[in-house]
Amino acid sequence: MGFKTIIEPFKIKMVEPIRITTPEEREIYLKEAGYNLFNLKSDQVIIDFLTDSGTSAMSDAQWAGIMMGDEAYSGSRSWERMRDVIHDLTGYPYIFPTHQGRAGERIVYGALGGKGKIFISNTHFDTTRANIELTGATAIDIPVPQAADTSLIYPFKGNMDVARLKELISKYGEKNIGAVILTVTNNSSGGQPVSMENTKEVSEICLQHGLLFILDCCRIAENAYFIRHREDKYKNNTYKEIASEMFSLADGCIMSAKKRCNS
């Protein structure tokens, strides 16, 4: 009788101890935190599902990269390498590194936002919404209707509802829209992927109305995987080719790079 064993193609080399709390302790911690998970301390949490940022093991190449990094105050070789890779992948002429994605959002939406401004997304990530609304602007989510049906098998539940996008542009007016933001994958909607077809539709609408089109692209590698395996037109494309095409459809992007980008 034949069988197939599936294992992950890597070894984990580091073990980090965690503190095991009791159910009684957890009840106390939650009550003291006002049942707000952001108020918990890390040593009060056994397994952290609050975020996917920085929660996975790094590869041996990444650890080696830390040791080999150029810490020069200016003109760093490490910066030049990162700059060149980003230019090659996105084609964007300007790069502004920050310590976290939410800091990048604060800068971009702080400049674009303001009272009366409207931002439209398939689904705003929580920090994105916070940074937008902090300026007095309004953040509106318009995922496709299929996203609300958890029992429905649909290949791209992360898509933006383009009919609603047109309605909102007509309702609020082009000059009042700060940006249209496509989150790939759609993190706050269950990490659902966005199709290239949908991205093209959103891009065309933004071009027609002179609107800024931004990708929130922290999971664009995973999104490229789903496009290749679910969109027939792209079944022979590399993941890099798919990602680069998606970048070419937008005016710019914001990325939290502290995800599962192991080399």
* pLDDT at residue 180 greater than cutoff 70: yes
Share of the chain above pLDDT 70, in %: 97
d(CA 128, CA 109): 8
d(CA 42, CA 39): 10
CB 155 within 8 A of CB 233: no
pTM over 0.95: no
Backbone dihedral angles phi then psi of residue 181, each to the nearest 5 degrees:
-120, 125
Q: What is the model's pLDDT at position 210? A: 98
Q: Which of 48-52, 112-116, 196-200 is predicted with the least confidence, judged by mean pLDDT?
A: 48-52
Using DSSP's 3-state secondary structure scheme, residue 257 falls into coil
User: Please, which pLDDT band fits residue 259 given cuts at 50, 70 and 90?
Assistant: low
* pLDDT at residue 261 greater than cutoff 60: no
Classify the phi-psi angles of 61: left when phi > 0, otherwise alpha if psi is within -120 to 50, otherwise beta: alpha
Q: What is the model's pLDDT at position 263? A: 42
Q: What is the pLDDT of residues 217-257, one digit of tens each?
A: 989 999 999 999 999 999 999 999 999 999 999 999 999 88
Q: Say what angle helices 162-172 and 196-209 make with each other, to 10 degrees.
A: 20
User: Please, which pLDDT band fits residue 48 given cuts at 50, 70 and 90?
Assistant: confident
Q: What is the pLDDT of residues 120-151, one digit of tens each?
A: 999 999 999 999 999 999 999 999 999 999 99
Using DSSP's 3-state secondary structure scheme, residue 148 falls into helix
Residue-range domains of the chain with CATH: 100-254 (3.40.640.10)
Q: What is the pLDDT of residues 84-94, one digit of tens each?
A: 999 999 999 99
Closest CA to 208 of 237, 174, 183, 184: 174
